[in-house]
């Protein structure tokens, strides 16, 4: 039987793994929980379940930070657990295609390759694909023949703004802005307005439910700790307060998109104008972000079905379609 092939998008918040054998995409929290500083306690979604709730001796953390691998050892363990599970406990030789951010150092890029090589997952061939190129393919854009495609991937720790042309990347900027900062802005405004401390998961839930709440004309009901009394309380948070809290982080994204547009070679402008901006990444779904980007840039904004999975879908296309094999490259021996 031919080798199995995996495509990996190593997000700060979610790991996405495309598995060629059954043509499926697996998504779980990219998190590991460790007990007493040494024993693996849980990983993936079950580690996230404990996050912010576990006793002091269990520490749950994300080994990827700001889009790059920050904790190599834990990331290797996590990857091995996931690939082992996806192989039904029977690891076989496999090829790996990994998506990497563009606007990072050569050393940080190489770390993605080294991770797969060193994780004991029987990697045979390891290929790298620029994340934005995979994103474009995942959106079903014919990236090899398009001149001027603007993709904005709003993730957890980062937003990657890229201009693609003819299968390559013309410009790319990775900024430290994303879903986590949105959650933090919500927490800060609830604290300032209501004297209430809420957890990160609560803020995330409010953020995700915002559109529905607004439609239903209902406030967000949250539980937290009152700053003055120190007691747990329930409060109703108006959606307008949450919307206002998000304007500033949204503007950071809009300003950076404008900077990229200013630097884009004018010959690419026509296509970008015609197609508009493609929004991907989980946090691109937050209420009003798309419409504010549209107003702020004057460009049409395209949303997609499963924005968390577009990079993994693009890797699937590279793996399945020989026409796109050329966008993947090997970095073996590079930078050493
Ligand atoms: N329906 C939704 N509405 C709004 N936000 C959402 C929704 N679903 C997920 N998110 C947010 O998307 C973010 C995760 O998205 P994604 O998986 O694309 O990030 P990541 O790839 O792990 O991060 P990064 O690209 O920064 O490394 C989280 O902040 C989460 O709260
Ligand atoms: Mg991502």
Q: Residues 92, 229: one domain?
A: no
Q: Residues 15, 129: one domain?
A: yes
The residues, ordered by sequence, that sit 6+ positions from 46 with a Cβ below 8 Å of its Cβ are 33
Residue closest via CA to ligand 1's atom 24 equals: 155
C-alpha triplet 299, 12, 312: angle, nearest 5° = 65
Q: Is the minimum distance from the CB of 249 to ligand 1 under 6 angstroms? A: no
Q: Residues 27, 98: one domain?
A: yes
Q: Residues 155, 273: one domain?
A: yes
Q: Within a domain: residue 334?
A: no
Q: What is the pLDDT of residue 336?
A: 52
Q: Residues 80, 220: one domain?
A: no
Q: pTM of this prediction?
A: 0.97
Mean predicted confidence (pLDDT) in 279-297:
98
Q: Which atom of ligand 1 is nearest to the CA of 67?
A: 27
For residues 44 and 28, is the Cβ–Cβ distance under 8 A? yes
3-state secondary structure (DSSP) of residue 129: strand
User: Which ligand has the minimum distance to the alpha carbon of residue 178?
Assistant: 1
Residues 180-213 have pLDDT tens digits of 999 999 999 999 999 999 999 999 999 999 999 9
Q: Within a domain: residue 78?
A: yes
For residues 94 and 124, is the Cβ–Cβ distance under 8 A? yes
Q: Residues 227, 215: one domain?
A: yes
Residue closest via CA to ligand 1's atom 25 equals: 155
For residues 112 and 313, is the Cβ–Cβ distance under 8 A? no
* b/e burial code for range 22-36 (CB count within 10 A of at least 16 → b): eeebbbbbbbbbbee
Enumerate the β-bridge partners of residue 278. Answer: 151, 302
Q: Is the minimum distance from the CB of 155 to ligand 1 under 6 angstroms? A: yes
Q: Is the minimum distance from the CB of 179 to ligand 1 under 6 angstroms? A: yes
Q: Domain of 101: which CATH number? A: 3.30.420.40
Q: Within a domain: residue 336?
A: no
Q: Is the minimum distance from the CB of 287 to ligand 1 under 6 angstroms? A: no
Q: Is the minimum distance from the CB of 8 to ligand 1 under 6 angstroms? A: no
C-alpha triplet 161, 167, 168: angle, nearest 5° = 55
Q: Residues 203, 94: one domain?
A: no
Q: Residues 52, 129: one domain?
A: yes
Q: Is the minimum distance from the CB of 280 to ligand 1 under 6 angstroms? A: no
Q: Residues 119, 131: one domain?
A: yes
Q: Parallel, antiparallel, or unpaired for β 277-280 and 147-154?
A: parallel
Burial of 70 from C-beta contacts in 10 A (0-12 / 13-18 / 19+): middle
Q: Residues 85, 193: one domain?
A: no
Domain coverage including residue 223: 179-244
| Of residues 333, 326, 328, the one with CA closest to residue 99 | 328
Q: Within a domain: residue 148?
A: yes
- For the chain, what is the domain count? 3
Secondary structure of the chain: what % helix, strand, coil (to 5)?
A: 45, 30, 30
Residue closest via CA to ligand 1's atom 19 equals: 155
With a pLDDT cut of 90, the percent of the chain lying above it is 94
Residues 135-182 have pLDDT tens digits of 999 999 999 999 999 999 999 999 999 999 999 999 999 999 999 999
For residues 125 and 97, is the Cβ–Cβ distance under 8 A? no
Q: Within a domain: residue 97?
A: yes
Mean predicted confidence (pLDDT) in 117-138:
97
| Of residues 26, 84, 2, the one with CA closest to residue 316 | 26
For residues 72 and 111, is the Cβ–Cβ distance under 8 A? yes
Q: Residues 157, 204: one domain?
A: no
Asked if residue 287 has pLDDT above 80, the reply is yes
Q: What are phi and psi of 12, to 5 degrees?
A: -65, -40
Q: Residues 113, 23: one domain?
A: yes
């Amino acid at each position: 039987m031919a080798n199995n092939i995996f495509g990996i998008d190593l997000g700060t918040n979610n790991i996405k793994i495309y598995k060629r054998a059954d043509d499926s995409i697996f998504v779980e929290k990219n998190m590991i929980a460790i007990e007493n500083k040494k024993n693996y306690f849980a990983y993936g979604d079950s580690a996230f379940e404990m996050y912010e709730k576990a006793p002091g001796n269990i520490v749950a953390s994300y080994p990827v930070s700001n889009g790059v691998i920050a904790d190599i050892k834990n990331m290797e363990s996590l990857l091995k657990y996931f690939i082992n599970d996806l192989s039904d406990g029977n690891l076989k030789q496999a090829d790996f295609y990994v998506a990497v951010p563009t606007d990072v150092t050569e050393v940080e890029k190489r770390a993605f390759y080294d991770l797969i090589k060193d994780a004991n997952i029987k990697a045979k061939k390891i290929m790298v694909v620029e994340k934005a190129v995979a994103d474009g393919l995942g959106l079903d854009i014919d990236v090899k023949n398009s001149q001027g495609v603007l993709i904005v991937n709003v993730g957890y720790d980062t937003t990657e703004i890229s201009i693609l042309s003819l299968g390559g990347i013309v410009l790319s900027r990775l900024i430290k802005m994303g879903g986590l900062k949105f959650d933090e802005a919500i927490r800060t405004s609830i604290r300032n307005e209501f004297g209430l401390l809420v957890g990160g998961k609560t803020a995330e839930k409010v953020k995700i439910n915002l559109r529905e709440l607004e439609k239903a004309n209902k406030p967000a009901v949250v539980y937290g700790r009152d700053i003055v009394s120190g007691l747990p309380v329930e409060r109703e948070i108006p959606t307008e307060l949450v919307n206002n809290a998000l304007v500033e982080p949204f503007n950071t994204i809009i300003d950076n998109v404008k900077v990229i547009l200013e630097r884009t070679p004018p010959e690419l402008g026509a296509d970008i104008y015609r197609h508009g901006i493609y929004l991907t990444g989980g946090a691109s779904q937050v209420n009003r972000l798309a419409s504010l980007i549209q107003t702020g840039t004057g460009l049409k904004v395209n949303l997609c079905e499963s924005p968390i999975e577009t990079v993994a879908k693009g890797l699937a296309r590279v793996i399945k379609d020989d026409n796109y094999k050329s966008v993947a490259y090997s970095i073996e021996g590079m930078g050493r």
